[in-house]
Structure 1
Amino acid sequence: MMPCSFKIIPNNELELVIPLVYELNEGKIDKVVLRSRFNEMKTQNYECAGIFRDNELIGVTGLWFCTRHYVGKSLELDHVYIKPDYRGEGLGKKFMKWINDYAMDNGYNALELNTYVQNYPSHKFYYNDGFEILGYHFLKNL
């Protein structure tokens, strides 16, 4: 197993994440739409972190920064994804540790995330990492 590095992807390089987020969404969101949305997201309280092996992006997560009335400064993970060929190596656990440290180093009080109801393996992973279910995420398309 070759070593990996974790780092924040500069906004001008967010194009790198489009293929992984496209895979995560099983092709349900067009790449042109993803590109447009990421161009908008980078002007908001958003950063993107990646897992790199030999300069190849093999994992990604979005990081949304905000203050919540119930917990204070919060970092919310979004579109967490590791390419299937690299799963089972403990990268997810290392990535979460890196994100946890990054949040703490930047004065954040909590990590939050949403995961799809049917994604049972992720539920176990996040429980094992110390996350608790706080509520339900609702969506209404307009």
Structure 2
Amino acid sequence: MEPSVFTRIVRGELPAAKVYEDEHTIAFMDAGQVNPGHVIVATKRQVETVMELDDELAAAVFRTAARVARAVDRAYQPEGITLLQANKPAGWQTVPHFHIHVLPRHEDDGVTLGWPRKNPTLEELSVLARRIEVKD
């Protein structure tokens, strides 16, 4: 797998404004700054999607995201915070390296996220649910 831009940041090959770093994760300011305080939380080890995270790495990255969100909330006092995590190109993933956006939000900040609701019946939802087998 080709090193992602985030892997290159982890290696120190590219500069970044770091916010936090531990054994498994790194957090740095998003170069695009949708709103001031927009942070990327990424795994240090390059895995592409949430489906590739083992339980330990998943816990570590979400723990870091929560810590960073609390810090962003204290520092910027936004009206809200959106955590966004995307997988595969059809799911809006643009960097092939697992990461979570911690995005401070304000009324009318221009950020949109929408999808058409289908509103299936409970019976239809139950059929869909039976197809999913969650494994430990």
Shorter-normalised TM range: 0.3 to 0.5
> TM-score, normalised on structure 1?
0.37
Greater helix content = 1
Compare CA radii of gyration and give the structure with the larger one: 2
Higher RCO structure, 1 or 2 (CA under 8 Å, sep 6+): 2
